[in-house]
Structure 1
């Protein structure tokens, strides 16, 4: 019997330092997030970061926490519940980190008789610290606890034209009644070394002005290329002037080169160049979370206006958008009936 496993990032159980600390420990100790030797990762995370970060993160979570709980969890649950109404196969929701585990979600499917699972990492792009770690963890859990299960992974859908249409229409809706002079596509940031580590050719990804636009097998696992490609496809669909659209990367950590340009630097630069009415979309995520709601919608607006910006609009992620639910249901049904995954 077939079933679907949706996996998103995860969240602490509450916006308190007590609950944030174990969540951050699991997240930051992932070798695909902080990709240094384990002994060094242990020193960095448990000896340094976790001494101060939980309190700061808890304060940030407190700003965006909903009465129902973590926005990312609530929105993911709403999406999965809607999806269940659009497809005949069982749907379970798990998180890569936190108490809503992949193991419990697979157990839920097994209890319903599922032995053939479509794994859906809820990330449009491939990156070792998001998509890849979900796939690796799911297969580890499957091998240890559910060896009889078959797992098929939905590929990254950053350039699927049906998805581009859904995303573009959502952005159009978000821009209604907002006069803007620039639209910024702000993507989650990753260290430059992650791009090189994910390059199967070991030579293509130079992170310069040309490698992302030069056709290569490396693009299948190149997060940077996929971000720029998605932006280009959305811009073309929406028929936007090239000069009114740009890409940046948020949430970097210090002491390492991360993908550029940095979003916070762009917030300061735009007003100086006369771009004082800014709209921001965060399409590395399908669900709004701490990074979109606090860092971009709140702190980003503050940074932009402090630099001289006049108006600012954060466009929500797709969340439980009906067209997005319908598209996922279409993908699931095609896989379930025809054993075919969507074109990417």
Structure 2
């Protein structure tokens, strides 16, 4: 570790509503969907659609989905993120704070908390294993806004991705093996990644290449053939074409292809959240079973598992060497 300057760590993630209510979800979605990194349409066209149609209709529906997964300590994303922060602080013995791109604690709040502890060197770890402009770059944009208004600029290190890091691949593989030991092994391991519009990838976003590489390395680590592991994209929104194949459409076809038992893992997510616990565990499981599937097993995210914290600590050490 760099001993000359006091180092602090900012763990960055997307964020979450502060309550599973229509107003809480509306506030969060409004900030999220206003970001040009997420939706790059003209504001003149997008804002009337967002405020006149999407937010009034989607907010109550999404609030009900959050209610189905809400934990005693808050949303799963926040609960697991706090556990990650605490475990990483204990392992590194460094100041560690959370900063969410949208919602609270904000990136600004996270940075200010670290600076208040005398941090002179800041290592930022966006918890997105695969780089995308919609996520990783949005963190960088947010930090730029924070420091544009700050009188003091600490030395800054930014971890852009870790999609092929050996400890990441091993942690994923061990999570799958643990699931196999507990629930048995399915006919197929499906890696479901959060999607982005295809146009973004066509314009240079390397996200699909990173997803493919994570999947390839995970298959090698587990000793799977190309027929035993597959990757898809979930959570598409709107009418524009997104990266394919789509998770839900794929899942509906698998039983007719002889895939009767299915294991699903979501390697793009650092922590379990609405997209994994509700979209995959509930919606997509229902689709699979209704299509003739006989067994569906979701492999949880790495969350605050010891192997995940070890990975994060190693990423910080490598950046702060």
The equivalent of 2:132 in structure 1 is 127
Note if 1:67 corresponds to 2:72: yes
Report 1:190-339 matches (<5 A).
190-197=196-203, 199=204, 221-336=205-320, 338=321
1:61-113 deviation line (CA, Å, top 9, x unaligned): 01110111100000000011000110022111111111211111111101100
Contact residue 159 and residue 319 of structure 2 kept, 8 A: no
**Unaligned 5+ runs, structure 2:** 1-5
Report 1:45-84 matches (<5 A).
45-84=50-89
Seen in structure 2, the aligned counterparts of structure 1 residues 146 and 44 have a Cα distance that, compared at 3 Å, is farther
The equivalent of 1:212 in structure 2 is none
Compute the TM-score of the two structures, normalised by the length of structure 2: 0.95
The equivalent of 1:93 in structure 2 is 98
Over aligned residues, Cα RMSD in angstroms?
Answer: 1.2
Report 1:106-185 matches (<5 A).
106-176=111-181, 177-185=183-191
**Unaligned 5+ runs, structure 1:** 200-220, 339-344
Contact residue 157 and residue 319 of structure 2 kept, 8 A: no
Give me the whole-angstrom Cα distance separating, in 2, the residues matched to 1:164 and 1:316: 15
1:226-271 deviation line (CA, Å, top 9, x unaligned): 1111100000011012101111100112311100111110111001
Q: Which structure 1 residue ranges, 4+ long, deviate > 4 Å from structure 2?
A: none
Compute the TM-score of the two structures, normalised by the length of structure 1: 0.89
Q: How many residues align?
A: 315
Local SS of the residue matching 2:157: strand
Local SS of the residue matching 1:12: coil
Local SS of the residue matching 1:94: strand
Local SS of the residue matching 2:18: coil
Local SS of the residue matching 1:97: coil
Moved more, 139-148 or 102-111: 139-148
The equivalent of 2:3 in structure 1 is none
Give me the whole-angstrom Cα distance separating, in 2, the residues matched to 1:286 and 1:335: 19
Per the TM alignment, residue 146 of structure 1 is displaced from its structure 2 partner at its CA by 4.9
